[in-house]
Amino acid sequence: MSVLLLQLAGPLQSWGATARFARRTTENAPTKSGVLGLLAAAQGRDRTADLTDLAALRFGVRVDQPGTRLRDYQTAQHADTGKSMPVSECFYLADAVFVAALEGDHELLSELHRALRRPVYTPYLGRRSCPPARPVELGLHTDRDLAQALAREPWHASKWYLRRLARRTDVRLTTLVEAAGPPARTDALRDVPLSFDPRHRRYALRGVVTGSVPAPAADRDIEPGRFPADPGPGPTGDSPASSFIPTVPDPRVSHHDPMPPLRGD
């Protein structure tokens, strides 16, 4: 078994497990169907292609930076008739960073790793309007399993987020790992893709175990005890929180991390 690690970071992400009419929500972390769709696109697979090999991969996510939930009202008109379509609500995660892991056959993961380096179709983070701001692939590992890979991979949060937590010694990062067996307690999520065919999309349920790991060393040079000046009140007049819980987004934080494309913060 091998493990392929991905970095999912961008100004906006949207990972919907359900969509009902004009309301399109997002989960708090990447879904298996969204990540496998990204990989299938990188390989150049057609939407009607067989997904059995991809669906068999075990999937897990680590929340390095939870981001902030945004709601966007969208309007549209029919291209032929000009008739106004219903107003829709789309939800996004802003300034979020995740590490995703896929465990399975080494040959398949090697092919996916090569495809991420030279993708046929541009990868995006759940929706086409959400391009990644950093390289997606983090490497292929043969010396660790999925849980070990999520625990050992450096912390990929943005500089401003790391500075806010630099004094803390008890930071833990939330993990959402696909159940390998029948553990005592799991959550069910319908995000295992059986078909991406637009005429009949189909998804199966999987069990998800929520846990946490101690925050590993960051992949950025942050000196303990050195913090940027307080940015002051944000656009709404609110001040940033004086304390910050790493696994819960704080809507009062006014920072925006643009994360320039193809380079670190």
pLDDT in tens, 209-256: 999 999 998 765 444 433 333 343 333 333 333 333 344 444 444 444
Residue 79's pLDDT band, with cuts at 50, 70 and 90, is confident
Residue 23's pLDDT band, with cuts at 50, 70 and 90, is confident
Rounded to an integer, the average pLDDT of 145-167 is: 94
Asked if residue 21 has pLDDT above 60, the reply is yes
> Considering the chain, what percentage of its residues have pLDDT values greater than 70?
79
Is the pTM above the cut of 0.75? yes
Residue 88's pLDDT band, with cuts at 50, 70 and 90, is confident
Rounded to an integer, the average pLDDT of 34-61 is: 96
Residues found in the chain: 265
pLDDT at 218: 78
CB atoms within 10 A of CB 127: 17
